[in-house]
Amino acid sequence: MKFKADEIASVIQQEIEHYDSQIDVREVGRVLEVGDGIARVYGLSGVMAGEMVEFPSGVNGLAFNLEENSVGVIILGDYLDINEGDEVRSTGQLLSVPVGDAVLGRVLDPLGNPLDGKGPVATTDRRPLENPAPGVADRQPVKEPLQTGIKAIDAMTPIGRGQRELIIGDRKTGKTSICIDTIINQKNTGVKCFYVVVGQKESTVAGLIEVLRAEGAMDYTTVILAGASAPAPLQYVAPYAGCAMAEYFMYKGDHALVVYDDLSKQAVAYRELSLLMRRPPGREAYPGDIFYCHSRLLERAAKLNEKLGGGSLTALPIVETLEGEVSAYIPTNVISITDGQIYLQPDLFFAGQRPAMNVGISVSRVGGAAQVPAMKRVAGGLRLALAAFRELEAFAQLGTDLDAATQARLDRGYRMTELLKQGLYSPLDVIDQVFAVYAGTRGHMDKVPVEEVPVWEEGLLEFIHEKKQSLWDKIKRAGDVEIDKATGRNEEIDAAIAEYQDLYSSKRQTATL
């Protein structure tokens, strides 16, 4: 590409003509010591907590600790360029990130600088990282569903727009996969997604970005990346940066989803900073305000009232536990802040139950009100039935003889757990889920061998779309199904599934012949 020299010259000329020299007034200090991502600065007597300061190398910092004789600054960038005795100037500004449509589809660092090599972010809108959460008067109850596309979650622990649902579990139990599936499922819903990466392996993240791109999810998704090699200050601010970008859409009346992957790493980064700043350590050496660090972040997720545009910001924080220890400090903190949790267990994961969600202790405190009515009617009681099944299963392992009724409940349970298994990156539409769950809970699968359940289910959904699209469309439009109170059944669906059942068994017979 060739540049038009005269065009550029005219811009520069305009700039010079309009330049009026002003005396540059600044408040300065000197670096006393620097290292490990923090600097101690002498002077800066008028600096305010949280104010951005600038080092001569152009790197920015954040006034973190105001002490009697010095200021503790966390360095957001390369601290190796900063020397003892350097002049530090205060900027009088708060840390902010670029926001707007231009950030969608990008991979950015927590300061909004591009990491994907696609050039600068073309927007002039900025939002401060730290922004007070909306107050009670600005909110309304969560009432719209946010479909994850995962049967087990949408049926039993539904998530609403504006909710904060914690995803908790040991390493390698599929926490990230649930969130990626959820992001992929937001296609064509208008929900903007923000995936905040804190302290994760960059090779894994590169893979995830590739998946999102391949699934067409990068069109509405921003990845905010502070990987394992990023200095602690960047890991600490990354969730706030993601939240600020997502908030922009919420206050515009749109819907946004932000995933924090994960907050335990952010807590570790914050602990590192606090200890370097000599703040007194508390339990597990975390500083006293670690709870506030997470609560002020998660409180910013909200469903705004209609006067403010009715936008929403849904947060899916992830917390990693060690050996299933949910009573550790950070997990208990975040559990108490969020509106429910999805608990993933390694033994379920290795038993092939994926998503490895423990249904008994996973809850959604507000999502029920936001669940699609059709799903609510079909899946009501599923949680309890599954919990009863797990209990019965443990009892049945003792090898005692079982009566026919108990055996039937066990068989139903095996098929239900099989039905709730779902492949990676294959979210289902909620109406598809309604059909599948209906078939399971109403006993249509009781005659299907357990190992054939996934094939049977896939076939059912295909059959419905091919032959019974009108019924599917009807439920989709109404968002509801009529369920007979006495029998708990819907005749139309029953008839459709029975028709498929005949087809399936005849097909199976010909296959075996």
Partner 1 sequence: MAEQSVPSDARFAAEFNPDVGVEQVAAIYAEAAFGAAESAGRTESMLEEFDSLIADVLDRHPKFETLLGSALIPHDEKTAILDRTLGPTASSLMLNFLKVVSRHGRLDCLRAIHRRFHAVYDAARGRVPVELITATPVSDAEAAAIAGMLGGMVRGEPVLRRRVDPALIGGAVVRVGDTVYDGSIARQLENVRRKMIDRSAHEIQSRRDRFSNPAGN
Closest CB to partner 1 among 14 and 469? 14
Cβ atoms 73, 64 nearer than 8 A: yes
Closest CB to partner 1 among 115 and 392? 115
Binding region for partner 1 (CB under 8 A): 1-4, 7-8, 11-12, 14-16, 19, 21, 23-30, 32-33, 42-46, 68-70, 84-85, 89, 120, 122, 124
- Minimum CB separation from partner 1 for residue 15, in Å? 5
Q: How far apart are the first and last CA of the chain?
A: 68
- Minimum CB separation from partner 1 for residue 67, in Å? 8
In whole angstroms, what is the distance from residue 329 CA to residue 287 CA? 11
Q: Is 365 known to be catalytic?
A: yes
Closest CB to partner 1 among 84 and 446? 84
Residue 70's alpha-carbon distances to 47, 131, 233, 245, 294, in angstroms, are 11, 26, 19, 33, 27
Buried b (16+ CB within 10 A) or exposed e, 224-244: bbbbeebbbbbbbbbbbbbbb
- Minimum CB separation from partner 1 for residue 24, in Å? 4
- Minimum CB separation from partner 1 for residue 9, in Å? 11
In whole angstroms, what is the distance from residue 266 CA to residue 264 CA? 5
- Minimum CB separation from partner 1 for residue 193, in Å? 24
Closest CB to partner 1 among 31 and 298? 31
Closest CB to partner 1 among 45 and 407? 45
Closest CB to partner 1 among 33 and 325? 33
**Catalytic choice (89, 365, 377, 489):** 365
| DSSP string for residues in 167-200 | EEESTTSSHHHHHHHHHHHTTTTTEEEEEEEES-
Half-sphere exposure of 208 (CA within 13 A, CB side): 27
In whole angstroms, what is the distance from residue 134 CA to residue 303 CA? 9
Strand boundaries in 56-140, DSSP class E: 60-66, 71-76, 87-94, 96-98, 107-108, 126-128
| Chain CA centroid to CA 368, Å | 19
β partners of residue 316: 259
Cβ atoms 314, 162 nearer than 8 A: yes
Only one residue has tokens 């005396």, namely: 23
| Chain CA centroid to CA 197, Å | 10
Closest CB to partner 1 among 21 and 327? 21
Q: Which two tokens stand for residue 251?
A: 């206050």
| Chain CA centroid to CA 214, Å | 19
Only one residue has tokens 């068989």, namely: 411
β partners of residue 114: 108
Cβ atoms 329, 319 nearer than 8 A: no
- Minimum CB separation from partner 1 for residue 114, in Å? 12
In whole angstroms, what is the distance from residue 97 CA to residue 109 CA? 10
Closest CB to partner 1 among 1 and 486? 1
Question: Which residues form the catalytic set?
Answer: 365
